[in-house]
Amino acid sequence: MRFNILSRVLPSPGARRVRPVFNNRHKERYMKTRTNWILAGAGLALALAACTPAARANLLVDPGFEANPLDTYSNVLNFFPTYQGIWGVEVATITVAENGVTPAQGVKMLRMLDDGNVTTQGFQTTDVTSYGAAISTGSATVTLSALFDVDKGVPAAVAGVYVHFFSGASYGSQIGSPIGSSLTLDSNPNSWQTVSVSATIPVGTTWLMSQVYYSDASLLGIDGLSHPGYVDAADATIVPEPASVGLLVLAGMALRARRR
Q: Any idea which fold 57-240 has?
A: Jelly Rolls (2.60.120)
DSSP state of 134: H
Q: Is 96 or 47 the better-scoring residue by pLDDT?
A: 96
DSSP state of 51: T
The rounded distance, in Å, linking the Cα atoms of 166 and 160 is 20
The rounded distance, in Å, linking the Cα atoms of 120 and 113 is 7
Residues near 95 by Cβ (< 8 Å), separated by ≥ 6?
108, 109, 110, 111
Task: Give me the pLDDT at residue 241, please.
Answer: 87
Extents of the domains making up the chain: 24-51+245-259, 57-240
The rounded distance, in Å, linking the Cα atoms of 229 and 120 is 9
Model confidence over 142-161: pLDDT tens digits?
999 999 999 999 999 999 99
Task: Give me the pLDDT at residue 247, please.
Answer: 45
Task: Give me the pLDDT at residue 51, please.
Answer: 45
Which amino acid appears at position 154 of this protein? V
Half-sphere exposure of 197 (CA within 13 A, CB side): 18
* CB count in 10 Å sphere of residue 2: 3
The rounded distance, in Å, linking the Cα atoms of 144 and 181 is 10
Which amino acid appears at position 43 of this protein? G
Kindly report the average pLDDT of the chain as a whole number: 84
Confidence of residue 245 (pLDDT cuts 50, 70, 90): very low
Model confidence over 186-215: pLDDT tens digits?
999 999 999 999 999 999 999 999 999 999
Task: Give me the pLDDT at residue 32, please.
Answer: 61
Task: Give me the pLDDT at residue 7, please.
Answer: 40
pTM as predicted: 0.76
